[in-house]
Amino acid sequence: MDRQDLLWKQYELHVSLYKFYLELTLKVNAAFYAISGAVASYVLTHQTVGAAKAALLIPAVLGVGLAFVAAYGAVMQRYTRDELLAIRDTLKLETIPEIKVLAFLLWVSTLGFAAVSVGLLVLWCK
């Protein structure tokens, strides 16, 4: 396998991973907000049960973890973009998929996960 073929395969891998990560980010966001909303709704309707409030900690901790993972992914996108630009230049391509969209979505997700986690913790403290 020559260098050109290897670069094309690497380029194809990066593009496939970009699509996968974009789809996964959207699905994780939807699942997190569904879980958080369901737990918060349950706790707010069953406020007389003291143990029900502890359920708020599960999505709060999950949200903090997801915020860290999303922030890490957003930072790491810079290196992937640099590598794609180097491959583009070597293969003399005109453009690459703009993966800054994924980085932006990950930063927005980080803020959303953190905000919901803080809200759930405030609700737990009341």
Q: Which of 59, 66, 70 is nearest to 123 (CA)?
A: 59
List CB contacts of 58: < 8 A, sequence separation 6 or more: 39
Average pLDDT on 4-16 reads: 93
Helix (H) or strand (E) holding 36: helix 3-45
Q: Whole-angstrom Cα distance, residue 62 to residue 60?
A: 5
Question: Is residue 87 over pLDDT 70?
Answer: yes
pTM (2 d.p.): 0.89
Residue with more model confidence, 52 or 30: 30
> Computed over its alpha carbons, how large is the radius of gyration of the chain?
20
Q: Whole-angstrom Cα distance, residue 114 to residue 106?
A: 12
pLDDT of residue 51: 74
CA angle 126, 53, 67 (to 5 degrees): 85
User: Average pLDDT of the chain?
Assistant: 93
Question: Is residue 8 over pLDDT 70?
Answer: yes
